[in-house]
């Protein structure tokens, strides 16, 4: 008998091994095995198929050992892996690597790698007084263990830890065990905390919320996917909580997806208050060992009933999945950029739900054009929640024309006078202010005042960003950092000026303008540390910071109760990208930012500073008109053949030698053209044409979405294999980005 297996390597195909006789009745799909591969290397692989078909006529190798007694990857997971690898044109091995926590797939076979369950001990109160008696050493150890429980807040201790406490008297530990004072039990994933009891019931829903919930449930009877379009603060999260409770009573699991975990602190607390330890948190910030433990718990008889996590939690084994919630479904961070598989978590969630017989609920105040389009064609159901919870009026949105103000010499600072006034007013009322500044393209740079020389990274085609605090210039692509030169390397002029107002300058300016207020800043530089993000949010929530300056990071999913005014500086910079999505993004960002104003009981003001107030997008924003915005966008998309009317597949080629990549891209493009004609575009040198020494070329396929995916993939793969036939191009790195965003 033979087994096909997936190896954790960037390889598209499965490999076949023979199964030793004694293993034949113990092995199956989803089991881990250890197999030899290459010269003297062993890997952990996953079995995908057992069969009797001997492969070709080369010497077949044998499986070396079987790790599991039950599958660690479920049937549904394997099906999802296959779909991801097919749809996103990524190697099965890449999907495998992304899915399984690394401790589950060791390559070093010497270490004892099979994660085992651990024995834990707990105190059996009934036995204590009766039995300790005069055994002094046992009493001392028992006291130690009790102190351990008070100090750690835990209710059990692992046998290993207890042995450490017992030190030189292991006999005392054995004594306590024999008398039944300590009772052992086995724990899978010993480090998972089990101490959160629920503290409240779900809030009763408002009439509007109840209507939306009823609509969602009735739409689910004939749609697999429903979009909840609800204004910020309309109480979407509370509706999710009710849905999850409903599923719990049916014994079904929920996966709650978030774009980024950094924003989840508030949400985690809220969900834990209602669901206690039924909820598991899964994201890349937790260590690999804990990920492994969560995986094992999900396979056990008592899995988490709710998983809250980022895109990678799609890969967990769910046995009774009933619902996937994709919160803030419009967020582009749902798309994995690097490394492969470059999957879109929203779309993959819908596929996961489909495979599992579950439903998907997408939620957003500013839905993606794609999802909204799907509601218009009837593919998805749609429910709308217009009112803010508590019927607070939506914020008042005003435009300030900075071009005009400048002409009239009224722009004395970065802030328009009206925004200054609003901030003053808010501070007087004990309220807070948030100021947004887009980061992309607005990072501070250094320039020679004489010849205009601008420093660039040695490894990438990227202008360096100047960091005042460290007095260094940094590449935001590869993190290389450089000292500020004493003079211009090009003309030797000694006057180098830093310009371009980033958040750092804005923070400084605000401190000067509002000396009575504490100013905080939130961007990738100030939130790099482990807890710095949470600390900033807490400080703001508890009013230790009155003015918070930040990048788009600040606009997402945070719930503040005391924000009187939100200012958006240089809003135009959000719109001026040569990208068909730039208006969609700009709209989402501004509308989400505006949503941070005045959340609980007062109306709040939003001021948008723009030099081009005639842009139609601002009309939609000030009128809070999502539908109008959607219709204007969908017309353009149809006209210019962009998604959702087409699918975009970006093909990226990289090589250290620019001529190599240039000729490779031309050759591959020629091959693609034979199959795709004018649907193949390029090859282009991207705006950033070199990253970490690699020169880059891109080809874009813009394929009508009626074209069957299977056929598209066959054509691409056959072009690729013809391309690879030329030994000349063997060294070129090539990858695909499907549904490129």
Q: Which helix (H) or strand (E) holds 65?
A: strand 65-66
Distance CA 246, CA 253 (A): 10
Q: In the complex, what is the shortest distance from the CB of residue 205 to ligand ADP, in angstroms, rounded to a whole number? A: 5
Considering CB distances under 5 to 8 angstroms, the limit depending on partner class, which of Zn ion, ligand ADP, none binds residue 203?
A: ligand ADP
Q: Which stretch binds Zn ion (CB under 5 A): 198-206, 476-484, 500-508, 660-668?
A: 476-484
For 203-349, strand residue ranges (E) read 225-230, 253-257, 279-282, 306-309, 321-327
Q: Which stretch binds Zn ion (CB under 5 A): 54-62, 76-84, 492-500, 652-660?
A: 492-500
Considering CB distances under 5 to 8 angstroms, the limit depending on partner class, which of Zn ion, ligand ADP, none binds residue 490?
A: Zn ion
Closest to 88 in 3D by CA, of 327, 359, 351? 351
Considering CB distances under 5 to 8 angstroms, the limit depending on partner class, which of Zn ion, ligand ADP, none binds residue 224?
A: none
Considering CB distances under 5 to 8 angstroms, the limit depending on partner class, which of Zn ion, ligand ADP, none binds residue 478?
A: Zn ion
Give the burial class of 49: count Cβ atoms within 10 A of its Cβ; 0-12 exposed, 13-18 middle, 19 or more buried: middle
Q: In the complex, what is the shortest distance from the CB of residue 338 to Zn ion, in angstroms, rounded to a whole number? A: 15
CB 105 within 8 A of CB 141: no
Distance CA 510, CA 117 (A): 55
Edge-first strand order for the sheet with 481-483 is 465-467, 472-474, 481-483
Q: Which of 460, 566, 661, 699 binds Zn ion (CB under 5 A)?
A: 460
Distance CA 315, CA 312 (A): 6
Considering CB distances under 5 to 8 angstroms, the limit depending on partner class, which of Zn ion, ligand ADP, none binds residue 493?
A: Zn ion
Residue 334 or 389 with smaller CB distance to ligand ADP: 389
Considering CB distances under 5 to 8 angstroms, the limit depending on partner class, which of Zn ion, ligand ADP, none binds residue 235?
A: ligand ADP
Considering CB distances under 5 to 8 angstroms, the limit depending on partner class, which of Zn ion, ligand ADP, none binds residue 620?
A: none
Contacts 24+ apart (CB under 8 A), 403-412: 403/611, 403/612, 406/611
Q: In the complex, what is the shortest distance from the CB of residue 237 to ligand ADP, in angstroms, rounded to a whole number? A: 3
Residue 476 or 600 with smaller CB distance to Zn ion: 476
First to last CA, the chain: 45
457 binds Zn ion (CB under 5 A): yes
Considering CB distances under 5 to 8 angstroms, the limit depending on partner class, which of Zn ion, ligand ADP, none binds residue 460?
A: Zn ion
Q: Which of 174, 284, 493, 705 binds Zn ion (CB under 5 A)?
A: 493
624 binds ligand ADP (CB under 6 A): no
Site for ligand ADP in 634-653 (CB under 6 A): none
Closest to 29 in 3D by CA, of 79, 65, 85, 90? 79
Q: In the complex, what is the shortest distance from the CB of residue 391 to ligand ADP, in angstroms, rounded to a whole number? A: 11
Size of the site for Zn ion (CB under 5 A): 15
The phi and psi torsions of 125 (rounded to 5 degrees) equal -55, -40
Considering CB distances under 5 to 8 angstroms, the limit depending on partner class, which of Zn ion, ligand ADP, none binds residue 481?
A: none
Site for ligand ADP in 189-248 (CB under 6 A): 203-206, 209, 230, 232-238
- The Cα diameter of the chain in Å comes to 92
Considering CB distances under 5 to 8 angstroms, the limit depending on partner class, which of ligand ADP, Zn ion, none binds residue 234?
A: ligand ADP
Q: Phi/psi zone of residue 641: left (φ > 0), alpha (ψ -120 to 50 degrees), beta?
A: left
Residue 213 or 314 with smaller CB distance to ligand ADP: 213
Q: In the complex, what is the shortest distance from the CB of residue 226 to ligand ADP, in angstroms, rounded to a whole number? A: 15
CB 603 within 8 A of CB 572: no
For 200-252, strand residue ranges (E) read 225-230
Residue 446 or 574 with smaller CB distance to Zn ion: 446
Closest to 352 in 3D by CA, of 408, 412, 312? 312
448 binds Zn ion (CB under 5 A): yes
Residue 325 or 547 with smaller CB distance to ligand ADP: 325
288, 292, 294, 299: CA torsion to nearest 10:
160
Count of C-beta atoms within a 10 Å radius of residue 455 = 21
Considering CB distances under 5 to 8 angstroms, the limit depending on partner class, which of ligand ADP, Zn ion, none binds residue 206?
A: ligand ADP
CB 519 within 8 A of CB 547: yes
Distance CA 103, CA 97 (A): 11
126 binds Zn ion (CB under 5 A): no
Residue 206 or 684 with smaller CB distance to ligand ADP: 206
Size of the site for ligand ADP (CB under 6 A): 15
Q: Which stretch binds Zn ion (CB under 5 A): 8-16, 444-452, 578-586, 653-661?
A: 444-452
555 binds ligand ADP (CB under 6 A): no
Distance CA 277, CA 712 (A): 45
Q: In the complex, what is the shortest distance from the CB of residue 206 to ligand ADP, in angstroms, rounded to a whole number? A: 5
688 binds Zn ion (CB under 5 A): no
DSSP tag of 267: H
488 binds Zn ion (CB under 5 A): yes
CB 574 within 8 A of CB 442: no
Count of C-beta atoms within a 10 Å radius of residue 146 = 12
| Secondary structure of residue 135 in the 3-state scheme | coil
The phi and psi torsions of 252 (rounded to 5 degrees) equal -110, 150
Distance CA 455, CA 465 (A): 9
Q: In the complex, what is the shortest distance from the CB of residue 520 to ligand ADP, in angstroms, rounded to a whole number? A: 21
Binding string to ligand ADP for residues 379 to 398, with x set by CB under 6 A, is what?
A: ----------x---------
477 binds Zn ion (CB under 5 A): yes
562 binds ligand ADP (CB under 6 A): no
Name residue, tokens 């353009």: 636
The phi and psi torsions of 662 (rounded to 5 degrees) equal -60, -50
Closest to 668 in 3D by CA, of 712, 730, 622, 613? 730
Q: In the complex, what is the shortest distance from the CB of residue 210 to ligand ADP, in angstroms, rounded to a whole number? A: 9
Binding string to ligand ADP for residues 667 to 706, with x set by CB under 6 A, is what?
A: ----------------------------------------
Q: In the complex, what is the shortest distance from the CB of residue 691 to Zn ion, in angstroms, rounded to a whole number? A: 7
- CA distance readout (Å), 517 to 55, 428, 558, 593, 625: 73, 10, 22, 21, 35
Residue 22 or 601 with smaller CB distance to ligand ADP: 601
Q: Which residues bind ligand ADP (CB under 6 A)?
A: 203-206, 209, 230, 232-238, 389, 559
Q: Which residues bind Zn ion (CB under 5 A)?
A: 448, 450-451, 453, 457, 459-460, 475, 477-478, 480, 488, 490-491, 493
């Amino acid at each position: 008998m033979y087994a096909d297996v997936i190896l954790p390597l960037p390889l598209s195909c499965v490999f076949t091994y023979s199964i030793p006789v004694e293993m034949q009745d113990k092995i199956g799909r989803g089991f881990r095995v250890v197999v030899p591969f290459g010269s003297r290397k062993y890997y952990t692989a996953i079995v995908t198929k057992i069969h009797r078909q001997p492969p070709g006529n080369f010497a077949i190798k044998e499986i070396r050992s079987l790790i599991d007694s039950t599958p660690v990857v479920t049937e549904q997971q394997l099906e999802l892996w296959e779909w991801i690898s097919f749809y996103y044109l990524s190697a099965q091995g890449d999907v495998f690597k992304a899915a399984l926590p690394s401790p589950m797939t060791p390559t070093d076979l010497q270490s004892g790698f099979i994660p085992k369950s651990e024995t834990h001990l707990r105190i059996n109160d009934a036995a204590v007084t009766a039995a300790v008696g005069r055994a002094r050493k046992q009493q001392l150890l028992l006291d130690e263990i009790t102190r351990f429980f008070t100090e750690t807040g835990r209710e059990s201790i692992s046998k290993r830890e207890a042995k450490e406490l017992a030190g030189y008297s292991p006999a005392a530990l054995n004594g306590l065990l024999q008398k039944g004072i300590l009772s052992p039990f086995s724990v899978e994933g010993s480090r998972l905390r089990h101490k959160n009891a629920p503290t409240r019931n779900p809030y009763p829903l408002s009439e509007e919320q109840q209507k939306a919930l009823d609509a969602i449930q009735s739409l689910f009877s004939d749609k697999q996917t429903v979009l909840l379009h609800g204004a910020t603060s309309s109480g979407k999260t509370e509706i999710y909580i009710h849905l999850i409770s409903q599923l719990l009573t049916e014994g079904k699991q929920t996966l709650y997806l978030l774009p980024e975990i950094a924003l989840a602190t508030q949400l985690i607390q809220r969900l834990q208050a209602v669901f206690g330890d039924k909820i598991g948190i899964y994201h890349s910030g937790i260590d690999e060992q804990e990920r492994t433990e969560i995986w094992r718990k999900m396979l056990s008889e008592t899995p988490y009933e709710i998983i809250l996590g980022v895109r990678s939690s799609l890969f967990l084994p769910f046995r009774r999945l009933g619902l996937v919630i994709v919160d803030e479904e419009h967020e582009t961070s749902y798309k994995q950029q690097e490394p492969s598989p470059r999957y879109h978590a929203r779309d993959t969630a819908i596929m996961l739900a489909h495979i599992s017989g579950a439903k998907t609920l997408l939620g957003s105040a500013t839905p993606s054009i794609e999802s909204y389009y799907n509601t218009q064609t009837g593919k998805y159901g749609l429910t709308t929640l217009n009112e803010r919870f508590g019927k607070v009026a939506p914020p008042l949105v005003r435009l300030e024309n900075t071009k005009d103000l400048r002409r009239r010499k009224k722009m004395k600072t970065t802030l328009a006078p009206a925004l200054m006034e609003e901030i003053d007013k808010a501070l007087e009322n004990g309220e807070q202010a948030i100021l947004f500044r887009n980061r992309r393209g607005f990072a501070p740079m250094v320039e020679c005042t004489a010849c205009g020389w601008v420093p660039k990274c040695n490894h990438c085609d990227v202008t360096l960003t100047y960091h005042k605090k460290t007095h260094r210039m940094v590449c935001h692509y590869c993190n290389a950092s450089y000292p500020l030169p004493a003079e211009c390397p090009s003309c030797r002029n000694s006057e180098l000026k830093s310009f371009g107002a980033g958040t750092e300058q804005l923070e400084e300016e605000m401190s000067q303008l509002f000396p009575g207020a504490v100013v905080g800043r939130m961007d990738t530089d100030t939130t790099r540390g482990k807890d710095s993000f949470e600390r900033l949010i807490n400080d703001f929530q508890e009013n230790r910071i009155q003015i918070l300056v930040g990048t788009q990071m600040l606009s997402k999913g945070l719930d503040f109760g005391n924000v009187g005014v939100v200012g958006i500086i240089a809003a135009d910079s959000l719109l001026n990208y040569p990208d068909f999505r730039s208006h969609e993004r700009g709209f989402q960002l501004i509308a989400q930012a505006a949503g941070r104003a005045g959340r609980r009981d007062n109306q709040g003001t939003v001021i948008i500073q723009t030099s081009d107030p005639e842009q139609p997008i601002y009309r939609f924003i000030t009128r809070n008109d999502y539908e109008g915005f959607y219709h204007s966008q969908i017309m353009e998309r149809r006209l210019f053949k962009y998604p959702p009317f087409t699918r975009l597949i970006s093909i990226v080629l990289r090589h250290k030698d620019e001529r190599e990549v240039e000729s490779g891209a031309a050759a591959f493009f020629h091959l693609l053209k034979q199959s795709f004609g004018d649907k193949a575009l390029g090859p282009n040198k991207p705006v950033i044409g070199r990253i970490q020494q690699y020169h880059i070329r891109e080809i874009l396929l813009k394929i009508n979405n009626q074209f069957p995916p299977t056929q598209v993939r066959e054509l691409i793969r056959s072009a690729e294999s013809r391309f690879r036939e030329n030994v000349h191009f063997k060294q070129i790195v090539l990858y695909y980005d499907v549904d490129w965003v």
